[in-house]
Amino acid sequence: MKYRMAAALLSLVGVFVSSYLYLYKIGKIGTMACGTGGCEAVQTSEWARFLGIEVSLLGLVGYLGLFLVALAGLQPPLVARRGVALLLVAMSGLGVAFAIYLTVLEVFVIHAICRWCVGSAVIVSLVLVASLLDLRWATASKSVAGAPNPS
């Protein structure tokens, strides 16, 4: 349960980061706190959209989904359910794969690094780690619960 809580908390942090990036992208924030100028270069590049959708909006939706699944998985009927853990692993794994794709674009195509994007990649990677630990816990608790009583 503690790993699922960690996944929920980290996902909430991701919601805030991606919200900040999206608010910048839609013009609700004038300048971005970055320090290097790389954030603006990345956010205004042609690669800031994926399939016609703002990448920051995709991140926001993804983190909200992770947060809601992790939060729902904390409810008593779902705490020991392996399916919730599997869903969290699948969703965060997809997020990590997308973050790797975006990081490759930043380094090799855009030639600029966005600190906020790097932060988001770290967050989604930590959600994946927490989700994998949660899956391990759910699998172990299920096998212990299903084991025959030795006495």
Class of domain 2-25+45-141: mainly alpha
- Between these two residues, 145 and 73, which has the higher pLDDT value? 73
Q: Which residue has 């980061």 as its token pair?
A: 17
Amino acid occupying residue 56: S
> Has residue 150 got a pLDDT over 70?
no
The rounded mean pLDDT for the chain is 90
Model confidence band, residue 71 (pLDDT cutoffs 50, 70, 90): very high
Are 91 and 63 in contact, with CB atoms under 8 Å apart? no
Q: What pLDDT score does 19 carry?
A: 97
Domain coordinates in residue numbering, the chain: 2-25+45-141
Model confidence band, residue 137 (pLDDT cutoffs 50, 70, 90): confident
Angstrom distance (rounded) from CA 50 to CA 94: 14
Residues 6 or more apart whose CB falls under 8 angstroms from that of 130 comprise 3, 4, 6, 7, 10, 88
Q: What is the pLDDT of residues 84-131, one digit of tens each?
A: 999 999 999 999 999 999 999 999 999 999 999 999 999 999 999 999
User: For the chain, how are helix, strand and coil distributed in percent, rounded to 5?
Assistant: 75, 5, 20
Model confidence band, residue 141 (pLDDT cutoffs 50, 70, 90): low
Q: What is the pTM (predicted TM-score) of this model?
A: 0.89
Angstrom distance (rounded) from CA 135 to CA 130: 9
Are 17 and 123 in contact, with CB atoms under 8 Å apart? yes
CA distances 118 to 31, 48, 51, 80, 141, Å, are 18, 14, 21, 32, 34
- Between these two residues, 30 and 72, which has the higher pLDDT value? 72
> Has residue 14 got a pLDDT over 90?
yes
Q: What is the pLDDT of residues 27-49, one digit of tens each?
A: 998 888 887 778 989 998 999 99
> Has residue 21 got a pLDDT over 70?
yes
Burial class (CB in 10 A: 0-12, 13-18, 19+), 47: middle
